[in-house]
A and B are shown apart, each in its own frame.
Chain A
Amino acid sequence: DAGITQSPRHKVTETGTPVTLRCHQTENHRYMYWYRQDPGHGLRLIHYSYGVKDTDKGEVSDGYSVSRSKTEDFLLTLESATSSQTSVYFCAARDRIYEQYFGPGTRLTVT
């Protein structure tokens, strides 16, 4: 358990509004990740971070941005939410080993 929390756990928002999801970890892990889970697609990487202020894109990064100003916090922002971004979002973290440890998820609905 990497002590990962996500907030909010559930959110409903309207198309075109900005949304920020927060991931917080207490274990001082260097690497953090944002995934989305959709039926038929498994988990897909949106963005990841390899240190404070160091981030890079994953395979489905369009429409998303991230920021990491402190080791413990990794924010995912949808600049202008669309219905295709309705999904369950998971944050993960790891240190030097391969295994990533996941948070409980945020269910986002864009109407």
Chain B
Amino acid sequence: DQQVKQNSPSLSVQEGRISILNCDYTNSMFDYFLWYKKYPAEGPTFLISISSIKDKNEDGRFTVFLNKSAKHLSLHIVPSQPGDSAVYFCAASAEGGATNKLIFGTGTLLAVQP
């Protein structure tokens, strides 16, 4: 049972426009959410996170929105740049503090066209 779902395997966006990546989850106990970016042949790198007590977190061109009632989060990238082309994973945690195991979605491949 996939607790974290990224239903769009891929997304193509023009440079300068907004990229919106979506993630849905089923476990209402998740209390922290993260986005990771992954280039080919490299490990995932942490991008941005949000606690369940917030509905928005912003860091430069990246903003994450959380809608707890819908169990949905999204990552907005504005403006999109060709260097943003990568696979984006959302992840969720229900156990903060101790072990903090992360549950990952299947990823969305973002292609930013020049």
Residues of chain A having any CB pair with chain B under 8 Å: 4, 31, 33, 35, 40-45, 48, 50, 56, 58, 90, 92, 94, 98-105
The answer to whether B43 and A45 touch across the interface, beta carbons within 8 angstroms, is no
Give B75-111 interface residues, CB cut-off 8 Å to A.
89, 91, 93, 96, 98-102, 104-107
Interface residues on B, range: 20 to 34
The answer to whether B101 and A101 touch across the interface, beta carbons within 8 angstroms, is no
The answer to whether B45 and A31 touch across the interface, beta carbons within 8 angstroms, is no
| B89 CB contact (under 8 Å) in A4, A40, A43, A99 | A43
Kindly state whether residue B49 has any CB partner on chain A within 8 Å. yes
Residues of chain B having any CB pair with chain A under 8 Å: 4, 6, 32, 34, 36, 41-46, 49, 89, 91, 93, 96, 98-102, 104-107
| A50 CB contact (under 8 Å) in B6, B42, B98, B106 | B98
Given contacts A56-B99, A99-B34, contact A43 B42 (CB under 8 A): no
The answer to whether B99 and A104 touch across the interface, beta carbons within 8 angstroms, is no
Give the CA-CA distance A80 to B106 in the complex, in Å: 27
Residues on B with C-beta less than 8 A from A58 are 101
